[in-house]
Amino acid sequence: AQSVAQPEDQVNVAEGNPLTVKCTYSVSGNPYLFWYVQYPNRGLQFLLKYITGDNLVKGSYGFEAEFNKSQTSFHLKKPSALVSDSALYFCSMRGADTGRRALTFGSGTRLQVQP
């Protein structure tokens, strides 16, 4: 069975500092990996994805994520956090080698950026 883990319920960072939101996964075969962000009373907004190729992927609003196959991780990063980045972040995955399209989600990490 496949699974996604986000080990931190909350991450606190000062504005202007770099941020990392952690994600690890478990799947048989290769993964497709995604990050979504949820602002209050809004839906899940797509940020970025890893499909294949370069392990560092860049997405919306200056976010990037690094795929590490040996550590089965896909951590979300941003060099300089903004207060407006404060939101709930979800890592998700589907297996690339199956016909299944259902996404498996992590439990979410709340990012709080302090001014």
Partner 1 sequence: EPEVTQTPSHQVTQMGQEVILRCVPISNHLYFYWYRQILGQKVEFLVSFYNNEISEKSEIFDDQFSVERPDGSNFTLKIRSTKLEDSAMYFCASSERGGPLTQYFGPGTRLTVL
Nearer to partner 1, 53 or 115 (CB): 53
Concatenate the DSSP letters of all residues of the chain into one string: --EEE---SEEEEETTS-EEE--EEE-SS-EEEEEEEE-TT--EEEEEEE-SS-SEEE-GGG-EEEEETTTTEEEEEESS--GGG-EEEEEEEEESSSS--PPEE---EEEEEE-
82 HSE (CA, 13 A, CB side): 5
Q: Does 35 bind partner 1 (CB under 8 A)?
A: no
Q: Does 14 bind partner 1 (CB under 8 A)?
A: no
Q: Does 44 bind partner 1 (CB under 8 A)?
A: yes
Count of residues binding partner 1 (CB under 8 A)? 23
Q: Does 101 bind partner 1 (CB under 8 A)?
A: yes
Which one of 21-29, 63-71, 73-81, 97-105 is the stretch in contact with partner 1 (CB under 8 A)? 97-105
Q: Which of 104, 109, 111, 113 binds partner 1 (CB under 8 A)?
A: 104
List the end-to-end C-alpha distance of the chain, in Å, as a whole number: 41
Which one of 17-25, 39-47, 53-61, 71-79 is the stretch in contact with partner 1 (CB under 8 A)? 39-47
Could you list the residues that contact partner 1 (CB under 8 A)? 32, 34, 36, 41-46, 49, 51, 90, 92, 96, 100-108
